[in-house]
Amino acid sequence: MLNRTPDLDRLFHALADPTRRAMVERLSRGPAPVSELARPLPMSLPAAMQHLSVLEAAGLVRSEKVGRVRICAITPAALSQAEQWINARRIEWERRLDRLGDYLETLDAKGETDGQGE
């Protein structure tokens, strides 16, 4: 049921790098050419390109060549896929804590008890 993870793998892996997150942050504010993405980074341009292709492989970024310049832009849908997975986990444990709450309430009828907390 949960084996369809090839793109969540790529997605989270892409986001696990500060350089790549910086690129996504930059692109959230609008499209940019490769060289502009690379300029602030402490690495060579080929290295930046490699990060970029990881982002593209993850579906987070889309790019298109215009003349000799490659313009990059984010693909919002990909990010929301990651968000959905996280959300699904939260729903699960919230429901569980909810049931636990119910259970503790039934215990509450008899006295004070707790096994929860930071």
Partner DNA sequence: CGTTCGGTTAAGCATGTGCTTTAGTAACAC
Partner DNA sequence: GTGTTACTAAAGCACATGCTTAACCGAACG
Binding residues for DNA, per CB under 7 A?
13, 16-17, 19, 33-35, 38, 42-47, 49-51, 54, 65, 67-70
Tell me which of a second copy, DNA, none is bound by residue 69, counting a contact when its beta carbon lies within the kind-specific cut-off of 5 to 8 angstroms.
Answer: DNA
Q: Is 39 in the site for a second copy (CB under 8 A)?
A: no
Q: By CB under 8 A, is residue 102 in contact with a second copy?
A: no
Helices (H), 60-110: 76-108
Q: At a CB cut-off of 8 Å and minimum separation 6, what does 43 contact? A: 19
Torsion sign, CA atoms 4, 10, 13, 14: negative
Rounded to 5 degrees, what angle do the CA atoms 63, 49, 64 make? 15
Which tokens hold the place of 46?
Answer: 């080929």
Residues that bind a second copy (CB under 8 A): 2-3, 5, 8-9, 11-13, 15-18, 21-22, 24-25, 28-30, 74, 76, 79-80, 82-83, 85-87, 89-90, 92-93, 96
